[in-house]
Structure 1
């Protein structure tokens, strides 16, 4: 069998998926259903006139305001009890301090009054890293050439980090007695670094007494892709006062239009002394690094709607947002170049195995929030929201390349907090809790039963997975 025929089969079996929390749109506390970050709603909420998710609501700003909001402490834990085999747990956890939103809004009192606002919004999407090892003596290789159990060592390492920062410039104005309009121009910087590393070794049992001469069967793969991209998008907002206590809002967010972006992909695959038949050993090397590749990260069109009922002691608020689907495409598409060594003539298609791919299902998220005035200067609030995964329907086998995302489960967020009002400022503090999980996450490898037929990868099945996040939220709004 030619090596060029074996490589596609090997890369089909090698890991192409990871696990954590990044295939979701509503994970950030700043959004149309968070109800904690000032201005992060679609319809009226009696907030302090900072940078609104719906720019049409900026018309409610009476004085200049400055806001700083963030997570002063956040803990995240993600666990797969049998991530790469029975008892071989994958666990990623950590704590961080995350500034998220800084904004300023200034009303402009002219013949046609309007409000301008500027904001920087930082969204740390995910910071995921796991390692695991199995070191045992078990029967891995065929007894016809390596009788008895062998020393087997398998190692797995994976990481994914995504950060997104947006700079926003918005304006809102009145278009009628009960109608206001707004627009926000947004520059978005997306950065991602993605790594998967796997190596398995089995030491053959020697025919003679000299164990130092025993051949070692090795299968390894490592892949790292990173990119940055700058893009532009716009939000078009409308807000209505339906009646005295009833308000509604609508926001259209355009897809991201790329303005610049580059990436790098590096990959190595090695096979040594792998006997698919007792008489035929396989040795293979594939290696490539490609830099300055054009990036093609996409974010879809979305339509959000909200409704607020205002009562004497507070508000009741509901919101929903629809995100359109995105067809399968390559975020990084490497060039056809030397990959298999020595060149077997099939390198024209090797770029397909190095690409970073993305595909998203259409998603509708919804949320509900409420606030209640318990004293003249103290308001309590709470919110619940869904955060459905756009990857949950894209579980088909990925035979070429790597998925950009590493989760496919739904999340549920809850926020509880209080707003303390003073003459010159408002101070808001709260608690955020997030839960998500599945019992059927597909494994990438399984060290339980590695052998030649599965390239020492084992026979992947499914594993449970759970994520839990907790954060302390703080927001300070200064009124000039």
Structure 2
């Protein structure tokens, strides 16, 4: 009894220890456990004779022969996010790291009833989102300020750093039920906790050159911006599935996932903006201070309705599987909405209008992803398998490439399409089932929008330069493992 209890708790305990993996934050299919994550047991919509204990399509749970526990994840993963000239010529931005993460820990128990057989399963699923952090500095002598009041080249220092971390963990309870010999249905109730912390920090300084011999202290022109938003949100959604065996060789599946409903959530925004000694004209300087901290803000993070379908062809040596999932668009909305409180100081009574500058917003276009997978038995119960899936970005604006909201800050960092491939081997024994494989992912864009370009900072652009689109890419590789224990 004690050993059985340990087996049930072990996946959850391991999942609680390792919770840091880098992925993409504007894509739906980055996580390995999904309709096309063919490596993960049960990560399909149509039948694939898998002994996985928590099927993405809960209707397939009826095929679980006995009580089983499963632990799947990444034993090692490396990822690099690289933005060429991200802050200007030669000022690249790079975020990279390694990680170890169990992503799915689950347990399933079939209940054999003559009239209505069904299977219950529960799981903890950690969906990797992003852990991004970059920094860069430009320290040069160049002509930045107008020569009418600061003749010659100035000492200029520009510092930039940005970070974005998102963790998403869900707790799932699923039920699969057979309606007849060929058709089964299932339902998954999923409660989730999502946490995010995002920061943008920039300061640019130029030391004025004395305009005459009477100048003792050279003023410093400064432009700085700091913004940090953090929140947590708890909510739930429901996934309903259907599996249909057209014949022993042909299987189809359908899945509908509801949008998320919020249960509770709180967030905090802290921001500071300073502009000092910025000469709009030789006779007029701008000096501005804006500062605020707002806590206990209500959150409103959303995930849309999705509809998926899959088909599996069974043959003597393996399977061929294809699937697709459509995600509905989401109109522009605020994940964190600031209060109409004082921001620009001194408070003139009109500074409340500046609250829109502090919002954390999101907007999503409709996305259709497709995937293909195959397995082939090479000897006994040993199979080799491979899969390929698209992972298109939703960060292009609901009406094309132009986002509706231009004020405030985006909730996501990346905005490019991804492609994921998995290859591996599966070995099945009486008491356990083991899979091991490799993950390779790549994504790129030639139009990643800079926020700051330090090639030519001056008074007209507030020492921020003239941002341009640049090249950005992601490469990741990982070693995957999955273990299933049959009781």
TM over 0.5: yes
Structure 2: distance between partners of 1:212 and 1:377: 84
Instruction: Give the counterpart of 1:331 among 307, 329, 335.
Output: 335
Aligned to 1:421: 428
Q: Is the 8 A contact 2:439 2:478 kept in 1?
A: yes
Aligned to 1:16: none
Structure 2: distance between partners of 1:402 and 1:41: 36
Q: CA deviation at 1:21?
A: 2.6
- Which aligned pairs between 1:381-400 and structure 2 lie closer than 5 A? 381-392=385-396, 393-396=400-403, 398-400=405-407
Runs in 1 of length 4+ with deviation above 3 angstroms? Answer: 207-212, 393-399
Instruction: Give SS of 2:430's match.
Output: coil
Structure 2: distance between partners of 1:301 and 1:397: 21
Structure 2: distance between partners of 1:461 and 1:353: 21
Aligned to 2:410: 403
Structure 2: distance between partners of 1:158 and 1:124: 19
Q: Is the 8 A contact 1:106 1:117 kept in 2?
A: yes
Instruction: Give the counterpart of 1:373 among 359, 373, 377.
Output: 377
Instruction: Give the counterpart of 2:70 among 67, 87, 90.
Output: 67
The worse-fitting range, judged by mean Cα deviation, of 224-233 and 202-211 is: 202-211
Instruction: Give SS of 1:452's match.
Output: coil
Q: Is the 8 A contact 1:233 1:253 kept in 2?
A: yes
Aligned-residue CA RMSD in angstroms? 1.4
Instruction: Give the counterpart of 1:33 among 16, 26, 36.
Output: 36
Q: CA deviation at 1:206?
A: 1.6
Structure 1: distance between partners of 2:226 and 2:255: 43
Instruction: Give the counterpart of 2:26 among 6, 20, 23.
Output: 23
Structure 2: distance between partners of 1:50 and 1:26: 21
- Which aligned pairs between 1:171-210 and structure 2 lie closer than 5 A? 171-208=175-212
Instruction: Give SS of 2:37's match.
Output: coil
Q: Is the 8 A contact 2:79 2:96 kept in 1?
A: yes
Instruction: Give SS of 1:453's match.
Output: coil
Instruction: Give the counterpart of 1:125 among 126, 129, 132.
Output: 129
Normalised to the residue count of structure 2, the TM-score between the two structures is 0.93
Q: CA deviation at 1:243?
A: 1.4
Cα–Cα, structure 1 residues 115 and 212, in superposed 2: closer, same or farther, change >3 Å? farther
Does residue 94 in structure 1 map to residue 97 in structure 2? yes
Instruction: Give SS of 1:213's match.
Output: coil
Gaps of 5+ in 1: 1-19
Normalised to the residue count of structure 1, the TM-score between the two structures is 0.94
Q: CA deviation at 1:67?
A: 0.4
Gaps of 5+ in 2: 1-22
Instruction: Give SS of 1:419's match.
Output: strand
Instruction: Give the counterpart of 2:453 among 446, 464, 468.
Output: 446
Q: Is the 8 A contact 1:359 1:394 kept in 2?
A: no
Q: Is the 8 A contact 2:78 2:478 kept in 1?
A: yes
Does residue 227 in structure 1 map to residue 231 in structure 2? yes
Instruction: Give the counterpart of 1:249 among 237, 253, 275.
Output: 253
Structure 2: distance between partners of 1:49 and 1:87: 48
State the structure with bigger RCO (CA 8 A, min sep 6), 1 or 2. 1
Instruction: Give the counterpart of 2:152 among 148, 151, 159.
Output: 148
